[in-house]
Amino acid sequence: MMKPIFSQNFVKRSLAALVTTVSLTMAGCGSASTDNGAPDGTGVTIYKNGAIYTVNPENPSAEAVVITDGVITFVGSDTDAAEFETDSAQVIDLNGKMLMPGFHDVHIHPIESGSENTHFSINTSETNPENFIPAIKAAAQQFPNAAWLIGYGHDIYALTESQRSPLDIIDAAVSDRPVIIMEQTSHSMWVNSKALELIGYTKDSANPTGGIIMKDKTTGLPNGILIDNAGEVAMSVALAATDEFIQVDYDGMVEYTLPELAKHGITSIVDARAYWKRGHLDVWNQLEQADKLTVRASVGLWAYPEDDDAEQLAKLKSLYRDDANSLLRINQIKLYSDGIPSNTTAAMKTPYEFDLLGIEGNKGLNYFTQARLTNYISELESTGFDFHIHSIGDRGIHESLNAIEDAGSAEGRHRLTHIEILDPQDTPRFAQLNVTADLQVAGQFTDPSHWSEMISLIGAAKSDNLVPIKSLQDSGARVTLSSDWSVSPFNPFIGLQNAVTRAPQNLTLQDALAAYTINSAYVMRQENKVGSIEVGKEADLVILNQNLLTIAPTKINQTKILQTLLKGKEVFRSTDFNL
């Protein structure tokens, strides 16, 4: 993840979101025979008089779709669809509205980003960390019984450039219980002395795998900043699974995240970092058992860099679950090859121009080395797992491709995500190795207008072609678009607009739509079930308030979802759409 230049509070639910939850509950429970007329996935529903975009190159457009018991049974003209009209069939006139497959977001953090286990956020644009003290104190008063006070949102450069030690600043706010604050990219944590004590980080502590305990240059003591996996280890202590934490995570999914996904037309997701030691699998299982899922979900199990390989590999194998008929599948592994460039931890082939970490000749770090990643792929692909590998720096990308080439097989559907700083020599390898390129462009910080901001870190040449989606598409790579929420908004229309307007590294609208639908269905191993509108596929569909194919590209982000169907059942309907 590159350094965001926007602020996003992902810990507090808005009143509007709660209203959405109520409207979703009311709209999603009807059927053809109920008062509100909402499809319930049974019987016959006919959508006609529409601008239907199928994402099927053999039959890209249609006027009508017929759904029978949640499955698409006809795609074609209004005239031919009339044959399906019976007294029991529900007929919905689209009045020219666009209907298309539901969106996939194959890199999202739904449990983390919608949970109120994070107690507070601080102003990401604040440059003087002394000004964070009142907000931290206020949070401590608001949550007097929290064993750990957990926050989000600072910029790491505000801490590293502060006049006073970051540890002294946060201790001045709260010193009697542990405090941990996640940096806005999630790749560092700011902790107080009480937290350091409970974690066990001291002057003599070695850096954990994939992380750095930053220390005072004079005293050698930890200064309160924990980089990458050093911070992840700390957060694992703060959020160790309890019944209370699991319930709060569950409530966040039911009350906020799932309704918001449906509202934005997202019918399939990949949980891109399921912390199974924090109870995330308990949350997913409870959602399934309570019949609360309004998306198809593939869970990416987090591979802990600090764990013993033999023990972790055995545990991961035991968690595998892949019932193709279930909305919930546990069939992916998420791990990091490297860090991020703003922390100077993305793995680079050449040293950073500026080094945040004080390491001479710093070329970034590895959570998982190439050799270790090769071992994990060799051990877990045969179980059925696909790998979702965070790779940002040119060295991290190169090593990840090498590991897949060495250990992967034709059965694997592995992908690299982020792919921000790509050596052109590695571009054709994605297609050659059948490795999907998963990219995020919804955040404005990825726009070419911001590329120059990276020059001071990695030099002008490497900063001149960041997130090269067009180069990858032109090389024959399978490209997917995703959000990485909460780093970027999950609204797919923001990602779509940015994808088609970020010249010179932009996609055609048709390619961008495929990236959000059928290509993403492939990496979730469901392209034969959803991702396009074809006879025999299940009806995960969305209706839009404007036709993406006829409007100006700069108006795509203004698009609203009118209705969302999952298996033919309505899971969201806008008040602007009257059946």
In a domain, 193, yes or no: yes
Check whether 216 has a pLDDT greater than 80.
yes
Which residue, 498, 523, 548, sits at the end of a domain?
Answer: 523
pLDDT at 224: 97
Residues sharing a CB contact under 8 Å with residue 40, sequence separation 6 or more, in sequence order: 29, 30, 31, 32, 34, 568, 569, 570
If asked whether residues 480 and 563 sit together in one domain, one would say no
Q: Does residue 8 carry a pLDDT above 50?
A: no
* Whether residues 250 and 218 fall in one domain: no
Q: What is the pLDDT of residue 324?
A: 86
Which pair of tokens denotes residue 509? 């609208």
Range from 5-14, 114-123, 258-267 that averages highest in pLDDT:
258-267
Number of domains in the chain: 3
Q: What is the mean pLDDT of residues 4-15?
A: 33
Question: Tens digit of pLDDT for each residue in 82-126?
Answer: 999 999 999 999 999 999 999 999 999 999 999 999 999 998 788
Are residues 195 and 215 located together in one domain of the fold? yes
- Residue 45 corresponds to which tokens in the numbers above? 């529903």
Distance of CA 449 to CAs 444, 498, 505, Å? Answer: 9, 12, 12
Q: Of 223, 238, 253, at which residue does a domain stop?
A: 238
Contact 489, 482 (CB under 8 A): no
Q: How far is CA 371 from CA 339, 379, 407, 429, in A?
A: 17, 12, 10, 19
129 and 258 assigned to the same domain? no
Average pLDDT score over residue span 363-382: 98
Q: What share of the chain is helix, strand, coil (3-state, %, to 5)?
A: 35, 20, 45
263, 291: one domain: yes
Partner residues linked to 494 by β-bridges: none
- For residue 11 the two structure tokens come to 């810990």
The Cα 20–Cα 395 span in angstroms is 44
Instruction: Give the separation between CA 335 and CA 459, rounded to whole angstroms.
Output: 27
**Between 30 and 37, residue with greater pLDDT:** 37
- The structure tokens 């780093």 sit at 487
User: What pLDDT sits at residue 476?
Assistant: 98
- Do 181 and 301 lie in one domain? The reply is no
Place 23 in a pLDDT band, splitting at 50, 70 and 90.
very low
Residues 480 and 556 in one domain: no
CATH number, domain containing residue 52: 2.30.40.10
Query: Per the domain annotation, does 434 fall within a domain?
Result: yes
So what's the pLDDT on residue 37?
78
Residues 6+ apart with CB under 8 A from 513: 53, 55, 100, 496, 548
Predicted TM-score of the model (pTM):
0.92
Residue 579 pLDDT exceeds 60: yes
Judging by beta carbons within 10 Å of its beta carbon (0-12, 13-18, 19+), is residue 389 exposed, middle or buried? buried
Average pLDDT of the chain to the nearest whole number: 92
The verdict on residue 531 lying in a domain is no
Question: Are 543 and 517 members of one domain?
Answer: no
Distances (CA, A) of 352 to 22, 322, 508: 50, 42, 34
Query: What average pLDDT does range 432-437 have in this prediction?
Result: 98
Beta-carbon contacts of residue 385 (< 8 Å; ≥ 6 apart): 301, 316, 320, 331, 332, 333
Judge if 442 and 510 occupy the same domain: yes
Residue 40: DSSP 8-state = B
Alpha helical stretches, state H, 91-155? 110-113, 133-142
112 assigned to some structural domain: no
Strand partners, 211: 228
Q: What is the domain extent for residue 167?
A: 118-238
Same domain, 373 and 486: yes
And the tokens for 361? 């000749």
User: Where residue 36 falls among pLDDT bands split at 50, 70, 90?
Assistant: low
Strand 436-439, strand 266-274: pairing:
unpaired
End-to-end CA distance of the chain: 42
CA triple 448-451-457, angle to 5 deg: 165
